[in-house]
Chain A
């Protein structure tokens, strides 16, 4: 907890995302974006934790490390999900059903609307034939493509700078779709409110999932999904009961392992992008967990400090062990180290993002926490 700097921001935070660092760069991320929900006026904000932002605002260095607001812009409806499309553009999903691309102008620190798909998700009243927006619950980007899912059970495939959706799967799901992620370039994964994990292949013309996975019988809603960054068949999902499920999408229709985790809804799950035997989850119960499945505790290299050449070499060598780390049928309970990173928090931790040595999370207690020295 000491490594975290907290900032109260007077808005309930629904999403936090680091701006991606250019592939060649070795320094940790400096900017992140937040989205708010349930305010009278919701906002997308850009924050800086780097040094240039704090120089002018806090000359005495007292606030070093505390995030500084760079700019913000109003957002219609709750920010339900948010992703960086590239270095400058952010895609936000709204509870009104619209999907908006914002552009962050770095030279003068402003945000502007770049593109918007109004009512990308909607309900149609069968009696009056009138349309009403349906909450867009998830968005994922894979330049130039953007996929969105919503409460209307629809899947949209957009392409940046195209006015209309490239592909729409109507009624893809009869229940609410909660989250989406890319499995491969043409395949996506969705999770829904009756505990199913589905694979969709955009190469196929029929509007049916190519595969359905589900927890047996329980129908516990799934709220989040993330794919292992290097081993694409390993997928983690989080459910309403706070359970973490690990799936191997190559085989079977049931999860490989079920791990008891939080006491309430798990809102997000993320593999560490460059060191995937570390996993992070956050929940409605107000906790943020760090799951460490690295096998040899003694030989733990410090990937998180991405300094130096050795990084790539080291992470390559551990990938071998990762195969068994997450897919071990007998969950490595004795080997898995779990730590709660924000103890004593009573209100929900809605979102987290992790990149390099940095972690950011946002809560319903209107606070954002940043840790820039994540040491596993």
Chain B
């Protein structure tokens, strides 16, 4: 067992005094039941009032958020798409595809964040507002981390291009620039606006040279004295060598140009060109990559990773992925300056810069309140073939472990369980077992829901679960006195025993009422009649009644006899069948042949002989009367049959 990474959070159960009494609990799939026991700390059972409630403690609270449901549903589609695309492509197109998937995930997070933001600003309840705002910042952090992971692990950008991606990353996540620019530009005299230089600085810090030059032109036109300076600075900015994604120039070329440009900046700074304007001087220092000058803008950069990227832009534009960790660590140290300690988000980003994928996932699991993020990110990274070697000391591998946790959370939700199924499907080792255990616990309140669950099980050949669901539904139907439905369910499950049970109920009803219920069903059994002997009998017996009703007596007689001689009818029912034969025996014309009559007699004798003397005595008078009437009718029919057959043969 490894050591604990963090102290587990305490959850207080309202009304339970755990100092006084013991508590007991039971694990559920996604939640836990907790209640107070009678036992005190001293171990004695104590009578008297305690907390009368049983509490349900939920592990994954985020599953219950209305807005996050959109995230779960939309990302489910992306997840399934990713699993299906498996291994179709190789090399470049595969990478492009993975990047696309990653971007899709991020756009879902962003959409969700916007929704949450809308709700947060429209709510009047301060507590709810706080809750929603917290969610917004969590979602925003998730997107930030995901984006960085995408650049470093999925995109795997090489030196040069790496920085371009990082710049985009920083630009995307510092969102108040545009509003500030808008404010400055829409004022009467932009260059006199209090935020004018701040805005220029932000553009420079983010490497947005064109935007910065555009603003600088405003200063030049408003302030004739600084035209010269502005022109030089503008020229420097314009000349700054940059790599672009489509560019073919080599890194050495780039470095050479860079060196040249750097020296030029250095010259202007040293000859005091910008000395009269502290703003421009500091910009020039930034261009030179002066750490202190950049650090002075701490307030407008707000984060250490912005500082890191700015620093790289102006001092190490061709930084290699492996070198990132050194700059990242020193940037963090410089930025915090020993004043504050890093927060969880900082630790996670730092781990990413250090290419410690497992550390990233671990820290995220601890810091974030749901499994959604780690499960999906880990799955994506696994598809990038980055996690192969890592096995856990429990369960299967990390990807599967996280997916199982996430899907279990979905299954504990009242209606999100359907999403969980596909996640279990893509967990090769334990997915099936988890699914089997969870699916049996889905409450089946309507037949339609049962059909949906059944479809899931049938598609995955989960025979036991299919049987159990059908049995539950059949039992429900029996309890509601819906024998027809019950029979349909047991036929679907091919549950012979239960079909027999229901057939018996039908026969019992028939014996009591003298007529069949649910004829529309029994008449249409078709091949499913063969499921159980009793069901076959039920179907055939009904057929006998139909033939009889249609006065097709000889066919009816043949069928009736066959039901007994072929032992299809249960013995307990033979007497009823023999009584049914009575009207046929009493018909004007002879229906049972001599041979058939012998058979009937043997059936009757078998029936009576099977009973012990004891039973005979107990049997009521009606039973003995029935036997006597039958014997009489059989004898008379035999006589008539012999005569008839004799006459026919003789003639």
Partner of B76, one of A196, A348, A365: A365
Give complex CA distance A292, B337 in Å. Answer: 71
Give complex CA distance A327, B459 in Å. Answer: 33
Q: Are B445 and A10 touching (Cβ within 8 A)?
A: no
Instruction: Return chain A residues, CB-CB under 8 Å to B480.
Output: 123-125, 132, 134, 152
Q: Does A277 contact B (CB under 8 A)?
A: no
A-contacting 9-mer, from B49-57, B278-286, B393-401, B517-525: B517-525
Known: A175-B488, A219-B524, A284-B455. A38 touches B449 (CB 8 A): yes
Q: Does B29 contact A (CB under 8 A)?
A: no
Q: Does B155 contact A (CB under 8 A)?
A: no
Give complex CA distance A134, B476 in Å. Answer: 11
Q: Mark B451-487, 1 if CB is under 8 A from A, else 0.
A: 1100100010000000000000000000111111100
Q: Does A135 contact B (CB under 8 A)?
A: yes
Q: Are A218 and B517 touching (Cβ within 8 A)?
A: no
Give complex CA distance A219, B525 in Å. Answer: 8
Instruction: Return chain A residues, CB-CB under 8 Å to B80.
Output: 346
Q: Are A8 and B448 touching (Cβ within 8 A)?
A: no
Q: Does B19 contact A (CB under 8 A)?
A: no
Q: Does B545 contact A (CB under 8 A)?
A: no
Q: Are A125 and B484 touching (Cβ within 8 A)?
A: no
Q: Are B524 and A214 touching (Cβ within 8 A)?
A: yes
Q: Quick one: which of B74, B415, B521 has the most chain A CB within 10 A?
A: B415
Q: Are A344 and B77 touching (Cβ within 8 A)?
A: yes
Q: Does B69 contact A (CB under 8 A)?
A: yes
Q: Does A31 contact B (CB under 8 A)?
A: no
Instruction: Return chain B residues, CB-CB under 8 Å to A218.
Output: 526
Q: Are B452 and A284 touching (Cβ within 8 A)?
A: yes
Q: Mark B508-540, 1 if CB is under 8 A from A, else 0.
A: 000000000111110011111000000000000
Q: Are A8 and B74 touching (Cβ within 8 A)?
A: yes
Q: Mark A246-267, 1 if CB is under 8 A from B, else 0.
A: 0000000000000000001100
CB distance from B299 to the nearest CB of A (A): 32
Q: Are B414 and A174 touching (Cβ within 8 A)?
A: no
Q: Does A61 contact B (CB under 8 A)?
A: no
Q: Are A174 and B520 touching (Cβ within 8 A)?
A: yes
Known: A38-B414, A265-B451, A344-B81. A10 touches B67 (CB 8 A): yes
Q: Does A201 contact B (CB under 8 A)?
A: no
CB distance from B80 to the nearest CB of A (A): 5
Give complex CA distance A348, B448 in Å. Answer: 12
Q: Are A219 and B485 touching (Cβ within 8 A)?
A: no
Instruction: Return chain A residues, CB-CB under 8 Å to B445.
Output: 78, 95, 135
Partner of A151, one of B67, B77, B446: B446
Known: A8-B70, A173-B520, A175-B521. A123 touches B414 (CB 8 A): no
Instruction: Return chain B residues, CB-CB under 8 Å to A137.
Output: 447-448
Give complex CA distance A369, B66 in Å. Answer: 19
Partner of B520, one of A80, A126, A212, A366: A212
Give complex CA distance A95, B526 in Å. Answer: 31
Q: Are B446 and A364 touching (Cβ within 8 A)?
A: no
Q: Does A193 contact B (CB under 8 A)?
A: yes
Instruction: Return chain A residues, CB-CB under 8 Å to B517.
Output: 171, 174
Q: Does B198 contact A (CB under 8 A)?
A: no
CB distance from B354 to the nearest CB of A (A): 36
Q: Mark A95-131, 1 if CB is under 8 A from B, else 0.
A: 1000000000000000000000000000111100000
Chain A residue at minimum C-beta to C-beta distance from B451? A265
Q: Does B440 contact A (CB under 8 A)?
A: no
Q: Are B448 and A80 touching (Cβ within 8 A)?
A: yes
Chain B residue at minimum C-beta to C-beta distance from A263? B459
Q: Does B369 contact A (CB under 8 A)?
A: no
Main secondary structure of the interface of A (DSSP, over half): loop
CB distance from A342 to the nearest CB of B (A): 11
Partner of A367, one of B73, B491, B519: B73
Give complex CA distance A364, B527 in Å. Answer: 35
CB distance from A8 to the nearest CB of B (A): 4
Q: Does B418 contact A (CB under 8 A)?
A: yes
Instruction: Return chain A residues, CB-CB under 8 Å to B70.
Output: 8, 10, 366
Q: Does A176 contact B (CB under 8 A)?
A: yes
CB distance from A93 to the nearest CB of B (A): 11
Give complex CA distance A255, B66 in Å. Answer: 45
Q: Does A210 contact B (CB under 8 A)?
A: no
Q: Mark A192-214, 1 if CB is under 8 A from B, else 0.
A: 01101000000000000000101
Give complex CA distance A152, B435 in Å. Answer: 31
Give complex CA distance A139, B491 in Å. Answer: 28
Partner of A135, one of B415, B419, B446, B479: B446
Q: Does A217 contact B (CB under 8 A)?
A: yes
Q: Are A196 and B77 touching (Cβ within 8 A)?
A: no
Known: A8-B70, A39-B414, A265-B455. A194 touches B81 (CB 8 A): no
Q: Does A153 contact B (CB under 8 A)?
A: yes
Q: Does A347 contact B (CB under 8 A)?
A: yes
Q: Does A272 contact B (CB under 8 A)?
A: no
Q: Are A123 and B481 touching (Cβ within 8 A)?
A: yes
Instruction: Return chain B residues, CB-CB under 8 Å to A240.
Output: 451
Q: Quick one: which of A194, A196, A344, A348 has the most chain B CB within 10 A?
A: A194
Q: Does A40 contact B (CB under 8 A)?
A: yes
Q: Are B481 and A126 touching (Cβ within 8 A)?
A: yes
Q: Does A89 contact B (CB under 8 A)?
A: no
CB distance from A241 to the nearest CB of B (A): 11
CB distance from B496 to the nearest CB of A (A): 17
Chain A residue at minimum C-beta to C-beta distance from B72? A366
Q: Are A217 and B76 touching (Cβ within 8 A)?
A: no
Q: Are B415 and A39 touching (Cβ within 8 A)?
A: yes
Q: Does A12 contact B (CB under 8 A)?
A: yes
Give complex CA distance A347, B67 in Å. Answer: 19
CB distance from B619 to the nearest CB of A (A): 29
Give complex CA distance A126, B477 in Å. Answer: 12
Give complex CA distance A265, B458 in Å. Answer: 12
Instruction: Return chain A residues, CB-CB under 8 Å to B527.
Output: 217
Instruction: Return chain B residues, CB-CB under 8 Å to A364.
Output: 418, 452
Q: Are A174 and B483 touching (Cβ within 8 A)?
A: yes
Instruction: Return chain A residues, CB-CB under 8 Å to B422.
Output: 346
> Sorted from nearest, which 4 A-B pairs have the closest CB atoms?
A174-B484, A174-B518, A123-B480, A217-B526
Chain A to chain B contacts (Cβ below 8 Å), 23 pairs: A8-B74, A10-B70, A39-B415, A78-B448, A80-B446, A126-B481, A151-B485, A153-B482, A174-B517, A175-B484, A194-B488, A194-B521, A219-B491, A219-B524, A219-B526, A240-B451, A265-B451, A284-B455, A344-B77, A346-B76, A348-B452, A365-B77, A366-B73
Beyond contacts A365-B73, A365-B77: 9 other A-B pairs, Cβ-Cβ < 8 A, are: A125-B479, A173-B484, A176-B488, A194-B488, A194-B520, A216-B526, A219-B525, A345-B77, A367-B74
Could you tell me which A residues sit within 8 Å of B by CB distance? 8, 10-12, 37-40, 78, 80, 95, 123-126, 132, 134-135, 137, 151-153, 171, 173-176, 193-194, 196, 212, 214, 216-219, 221, 240, 264-265, 284, 344-348, 364-367
